[in-house]
Structure 1
């Protein structure tokens, strides 16, 4: 496998792991806290993410200052979501009216979960971000019109930005309006990133940051909303359930065949490598392997120890699913205060533990 092929495989693995972790957090929040809390968590996550990334993202993507507000907003959503792994369509009807489509399967709820989430989830997500683009760009004439919603039985999420000839009141910047017939997508006319600025390697590296950024931001929202104990419970349940559901898939993604202690440690080491973590693997004996982790991407802030331990539920449950003879433990350095490193020990006890 070439270096570029390895990079691609790693980035797709990291995207899957962080993306499903973020989606799992929303699903467990819905299960444990109810629909109102679930929708508000989405709203706050998207709104805070937009505050940090939208204007800077326009510059990074090379979207020109001379573009109209409708086109700039549309290009941003088309290019950023496409970079994150979503299937998108873009139709520039005029400089003042530009359409966007998010195609199935949904990136967040790609499987049967889409059928179980509240149907108006996507409406909440639209309210959080799309109508506010004009405000952030200093254009009080820009409106987002939502025309189709996939979770309500439409073939895709669809809408358009339109620039009016007058200033809009805040309540006018978003409109839900069903339109049966809408323009056809022409891939040849869709915007493209400059390959000199965005070579293939950079695009691969950007892909997992999409889900990782939302995972980090959503964790801060949950902590502010529910506090440390409830957030730790939600995180722990999320990681346990993800391990039960996906550990075999993540193992297969890496081409690992065995379930012995070394192979199980290699699965988790492979995920760490894909997520560009700072770690080492120590083969202490034929029956014991240790991983020492010195950072914790995608969290670029001091993650509470209780949350870090909840995240480790993925390793605890994943190892148990794969091999019931393995004992998996976690220790941190220093014992008190901010964590500088943590050690994961995988030991084959030679007997069934459960």
Structure 2
């Protein structure tokens, strides 16, 4: 049974998609660490978070109504609210107009479960360098920097630090510094911002949670393409997708619609239901010898201009892996077309 809100929206299916992409993003980073090394993984993470910062930070400040706050408080409140929407355990502790703390408490969302053991410290630092340390640049305030006091990957209790507005302008290497001897104040929910219920009802929050996880992969795909080129990016992302699809198929299927059986018809229904939970229009039909699923649009890549067709094949690795978990004796073929900004995806499943 799919959970629905009072507006009859499939909240449980949206949560399934959120977990699907959460796992995929973490899997891509871990796959990069194990196949290409910590330095290349750090480079990838830095570029992903830089891209997200350029695309999301300033519009997000305006959407959340934070643009008029002192810059240290605005940056910290943005990370508190946006990550809270995504289901991340996060705390916000204001100390003054020029100093505001943010703390991502354990367990860490982004490196969930045992994945935390496989993330090198420099990969976690790359995230801070690509986003937190550059918030002052985005706000055109060269005196705003970020001070990191803890990192979970170093065995500390969380990722913690504070935005601080200095008296002087910061050089690029000064925008992020470490102060491991400092300790954050206790979190007081009374001092933290709250999303207004009238503009953020449960249905909007559930959909935003799904989109939050999808955004990580949405940023990763064009970033990997630019860093590695089409052939290597396709192989790398497809292989990570196959592994994640195999591992998370049963959990995702259960959240979408329960029992899909083991036949071709069941897997066709799974693809169609998964596409619908993304927000795409999907249909499937029995052709006599196989089942065909058609999808109009590709919500994951909406608004991304530098998306090569090879990335559609890379993304399909998720469904290749899922089918191996559903029934490895089935055959899956995939095709796609792109005209202007419109995508058409098609799958054929047969015994």
Give TM-score scaled by structure 1 length: 0.90
Given that 1:256 and 1:267 are in contact with CA atoms closer than 8 Å, whether structure 2 keeps it comes out as no
Q: 1:214 aligns with which of 196, 216, 219?
A: 216
Among candidates 46, 66, 79, match of residue 43 of structure 1? 46
Q: Distance in 1 between matches of 2:198 and 2:336?
A: 43
What are the residue-to-residue correspondences of 1:254-293 with 2, within 5 Å? 254-257=256-259, 258-285=261-288, 288-293=290-295
Q: TM-score, normalization: structure 2? A: 0.91
CA distance, structure 2, for counterparts of residue 340 and residue 156 of structure 1: 41
Match of 1:297 among 296, 299, 317: 299
CA distance in 1, matches of 2:193, 2:85: 13
Does residue 318 (structure 1) correspond to residue 322 (structure 2)? The answer is: yes
The alpha-carbon deviation at position 338 of structure 1 amounts to 8.8
Structure 1 unaligned blocks of 5 or more: 350-354
Residue aligning to 1:101: 103
Q: CA RMSD in A?
A: 2.2
Task: Summarize the Cα distance change of 1:339–1:89 in structure 2 as closer, same or farther, 3 Å threshold.
Answer: closer
- 1:222-251 C-alpha deviation (Å, 9 max, x unpaired): 111111110011011011101221111112
1:10 aligns with 2:10: no
Distance 1:310 1:295 in 2: 17
Q: CA deviation at 1:316?
A: 2.5
Of the structure 1 ranges 165-174 and 217-226, higher mean CA displacement relative to structure 2 is found in 165-174
CA apart distance, 1:276: 0.8
The alignment status of 1:330 with 2:334, answered yes or no, reads yes
1:288 is displaced (CA, Å) by 3.2
Task: Say which SS state the counterpart of residue 121 (structure 2) adopts.
Answer: coil
- The aligned length equals 345
Structure with larger Rg: 1
Alpha-carbon distance in structure 2 between the residues aligned to 1:215 and 1:109: 14
Task: Give the alignment of 1:169-184 within 5 angstroms.
Answer: 169-179=171-181, 181-184=183-186
Of 68-77 and 243-252, more deviation after overlay is shown by: 243-252
Q: Summarize deviations over 1:267-292 as a string: whole Å, max 9, x none.
A: 2222211111122122345x632110
CA 341–71 in structure 1, closer or farther in 2 if over 3 Å, else same: same
Q: Offset at 1:101?
A: 0.4
Q: Cα gap change, 1:340/1:196 in structure 2, threshold over 3 Å: closer, same or farther? A: closer
Q: Determine if the alignment matches structure 1 residue 82 to structure 2 residue 84.
A: yes
